[in-house]
Chain A
Amino acid sequence: MKYDDLKLTAQNLRKNILTMIYEAKSGHPGGSLSAVEIVTYLYFKEMNINDPHDEGRDRFVLSKGHGAPVLYSALMEKGFISKELMGTLRQVNSKLQGHPDMKKLPGIEASTGSLGQGLSIANGMALAFKLDKKENRVFALLGDGEIQEGMIWEAAMLANHYHLDNLTAILDHNGLQIDGKNNDVMTVEPIDEKFKAFGWHVIKADGHDFESLEKAFEERKKITEKPALIIAETTKGKGCSFMEDKASWHGKAPNYEEFCMAMEEIGGGLNG
Chain B
Amino acid sequence: MAKATREAYGEALKKLAANNPNVVVLDADLSGSTKTSEFKKVSPERFFNVGIAEQNLIGTAAGMSLAGKIPFASSFAMFAAGRAFEIIRNTVAYPFLNVKIAATHAGLTVGEDGASHQAIEDISLMRSIPNMTVINPADCIEAEQAVLKAAEYVGPVYIRLGRMAVEDVYSSSYQFEIGKGVELKNGNDVTIIATGIMVQKALKAAASLNAQGIDARVINIHTIKPIDKEIIIKAAIETRAIVTVEEHSVIGGLGSAVLEVLSDTCPVPVRRIGVMDTFGESGKPEDLMEKYMLTEKNIEDSCKEIMKMK
- Indicate if the CB atoms of B95 and A127 lie closer than 8 Å: no
Task: Say which one of A18-26, A113-121, A233-241 lies at the interface with B.
Answer: A113-121
- Indicate if the CB atoms of A121 and B62 lie closer than 8 Å: yes
A14-72, CB < 8 A from B: 59, 61
Q: Is the interface of A mostly helix, strand, loop or mixed?
A: helix
Q: Is the interface of B mostly helix, strand, loop or mixed?
A: helix
From the candidates A122, A126, A154, A162, name the one contacting B53 in the complex (CB within 8 A).
A154
Q: A111-B95, A125-B64 are in contact. Are A151 and B45 (CB under 8 A)?
A: no
The answer to whether the Cβ of B282 comes within 8 Å of any Cβ in the partner chain is no
From the candidates A116, A124, A150, A157, name the one contacting B64 in the complex (CB within 8 A).
A124
Q: A120-B60, A151-B55, A158-B53 are in contact. Are A114 and B86 (CB under 8 A)?
A: yes
Closest to B52 in A: A154
* A124 to B67 alpha-carbon distance, docked (Å): 8
* A118 to B46 alpha-carbon distance, docked (Å): 22
Q: Give the most central of B45, B63, B87, B94: most A CB within 10 Å.
A: B63
* A120 to B51 alpha-carbon distance, docked (Å): 13
1/0 per residue, CB under 8 A from B, across A68-79: the answer is 000000000000
Task: Say which one of A102-110, A177-185, A256-264 lies at the interface with B.
Answer: A102-110
Identify 13 new A-B residue pairs, CB closer than 8 A, beyond the known A59-B67, A103-B95: A103-B96, A111-B95, A120-B62, A120-B63, A121-B60, A123-B56, A123-B59, A154-B51, A154-B55, A154-B56, A155-B60, A158-B53, A162-B48
Q: Give the most central of A120, A123, A126, A157: most B CB within 10 Å.
A: A120
Q: Give the most central of B55, B71, B96: most A CB within 10 Å.
A: B55
From the candidates B53, B55, B61, B94, name the one contacting A111 in the complex (CB within 8 A).
B94
Closest to B93 in A: A111
- Indicate if the CB atoms of A121 and B59 lie closer than 8 Å: yes
CB distance from B66 to the nearest CB of A (A): 6
Pairs A–B under 8 Å by Cβ, sample size 24: A59-B67, A101-B94, A110-B66, A110-B91, A111-B95, A114-B90, A117-B59, A117-B91, A120-B58, A120-B59, A120-B63, A121-B60, A121-B66, A121-B91, A123-B59, A123-B63, A124-B62, A124-B63, A127-B64, A128-B66, A151-B87, A154-B55, A154-B56, A158-B53
Number of A-B contacts (CB under 8 A): 108
* A127 to B62 alpha-carbon distance, docked (Å): 11
Closest to A124 in B: B63
In the complex, what residues of A have CB within 8 A of residue B60's CB? Answer: 120-121, 123-124, 127, 155, 158
The answer to whether the Cβ of B68 comes within 8 Å of any Cβ in the partner chain is yes
* A122 to B62 alpha-carbon distance, docked (Å): 9
In the complex, what residues of A have CB within 8 A of residue B53's CB? Answer: 151, 154, 157-158
CB distance from A99 to the nearest CB of B (A): 9
In the complex, what residues of A have CB within 8 A of residue B50's CB? Answer: 154, 158
- Indicate if the CB atoms of A111 and B91 lie closer than 8 Å: yes
- Indicate if the CB atoms of B63 and A128 lie closer than 8 Å: yes
* A266 to B60 alpha-carbon distance, docked (Å): 39
1/0 per residue, CB under 8 A from A, across B78-98: the answer is 000000001100110011100
Give the total of B residues in contact with A, Cβ under 8 Å.
Answer: 29
The answer to whether the Cβ of B5 comes within 8 Å of any Cβ in the partner chain is no
From the candidates B66, B71, B96, name the one contacting A109 in the complex (CB within 8 A).
B66
Closest to B86 in A: A114
CB distance from A153 to the nearest CB of B (A): 9
- Indicate if the CB atoms of B63 and A122 lie closer than 8 Å: yes
The answer to whether the Cβ of B69 comes within 8 Å of any Cβ in the partner chain is yes
The answer to whether the Cβ of B65 comes within 8 Å of any Cβ in the partner chain is yes
The answer to whether the Cβ of A131 comes within 8 Å of any Cβ in the partner chain is yes
- Indicate if the CB atoms of B56 and A125 lie closer than 8 Å: no
In the complex, what residues of B have CB within 8 A of residue A128's CB? Answer: 24, 63-64, 66-69
A153-201, CB < 8 A from B: 154-155, 157-158, 161-162
In the complex, what residues of A have CB within 8 A of residue B90's CB? Answer: 111, 113-114, 117
In the complex, what residues of B have CB within 8 A of residue A114's CB? Answer: 86-87, 90-91
From the candidates A59, A61, A102, A161, name the one contacting B95 in the complex (CB within 8 A).
A102
In the complex, what residues of A have CB within 8 A of residue B96's CB? Answer: 103
- Indicate if the CB atoms of B56 and A158 lie closer than 8 Å: yes
CB distance from A120 to the nearest CB of B (A): 3
* A140 to B266 alpha-carbon distance, docked (Å): 51
CB distance from A154 to the nearest CB of B (A): 4
Q: A110-B91, A111-B94, A111-B95 are in contact. Are A125 and B59 (CB under 8 A)?
A: no
The answer to whether the Cβ of A129 comes within 8 Å of any Cβ in the partner chain is yes
Q: A117-B87, A127-B48 are in contact. Are A155 and B56 (CB under 8 A)?
A: yes
